Amino acid sequence: MTGLSREIKLFQIGLAAKYSALPCKPFYARRDLTVRMETVLTLGATDGGGAGTNATSEFEVIVQTYRPRVFRFLLASVRDRESAENLTQDCFLRAYRARDQFRGESSRTTWLMQIAINLYARG
């Protein structure tokens, strides 16, 4: 081994030791979907005589019930956790905004999964 290649090797070992302890991605405070949606839901909940609050609490139950399934589908599709979380949030925001258009001809699962499929196909 020549002197220059030995120095390069030592430099590479030093860099590896220096950066191996660092995490691959920066740490961000984890905010769950329901926390991020809380502001949007409360903004949409001002329907007058308190009816919006009831709709909001009903929708929170829907989010808690169906979020894992929608998230798993999107995670399997995009294979990136952050993108899947963003698409899941978008899916439920669209569903919340269009909740009056749900006719009940299909199950909520089918409706939400179709929204998720459309978001995935769009992106």
* Residue ranges per structural domain of the chain: 30-122
The Cβ-side half-sphere exposure at 28, using a 13 Å CA radius, reads: 5
Decide: 74 and 40 in contact? Cβ < 8 Å: no
State the architecture of 30-122 in CATH terms.
Orthogonal Bundle (1.10)
Q: What is the pLDDT along the chain (123 residues), one digit of tens a residue?
A: 566 666 666 555 655 555 545 454 444 444 455 445 555 555 554 444 455 678 788 999 999 999 999 999 999 999 999 999 999 999 999 999 999 999 999 999 999 999 999 999 997
- Cβ neighbors of 1 (< 8 A, separation 6 or more) are 9
Q: How far is residue 70's CA from residue 74's CA, in Å, rounded to a whole number?
A: 6
Tell me, what's the pLDDT at 69? 97
Tell me, what's the pLDDT at 123? 78
Q: Is the pTM of this model over 0.85?
A: no
Tell me, what's the pLDDT at 48? 47
